[in-house]
Structure 1
Amino acid sequence: MIENTIIKKNQQGKKANVFGLNFPSLQLVELAAHIGFDAINCDAEHGNFTPESIDDICRVANGYGLTVTARVPDKSPYGVNLFFR
């Protein structure tokens, strides 16, 4: 099971360091992991993300133990479900 690093940090009384992405970049996800971030946030409302790029980012981030959150482009059921693959 994938551990939510944001919740874990909060339970320890600490703040989680979250790296924000406005465009898909696997290299930046790797960099964020190497420099000590706890999570990745993908801003799909203002950024250029596809469901496939979110899948790739999740795969890489989870491999490094990072939690991934996303701001979805719209609140329609279709728009939200694209990010729950």
Structure 2
Amino acid sequence: MKPSTLAAFLLVLLCLSYFPQGSMAAPGMCGLKCGMRCAKAAVKDRCLKYCGICCAECKCVPSGTYGHKDECPCYRDKKSGKGTPKCP
């Protein structure tokens, strides 16, 4: 591989890693994303707790304050012990 081609490839990889795609959350961003997700929750502390757990495991949080769970299938598919959705 030519040095210029390798340099261009590395530059593209660097740019892609700098701009997260969709609703992907960097480890330090879970608090911010969950704060936005739980902004209108009736029981905010519980929402933040479970959103934080789901974000840490799934590495993403759906946009908005409700719905949009198709943006993050892992977040959508997490279930509690009772079979109800775990993630707010």
**TM-score normalised to structure 2 length:** 0.23
Higher strand proportion (structure 1 or 2) = 1
Q: Which has the larger radius of gyration?
A: 2
**TM-score normalised to structure 1 length:** 0.23
Higher helix proportion (structure 1 or 2) = 2
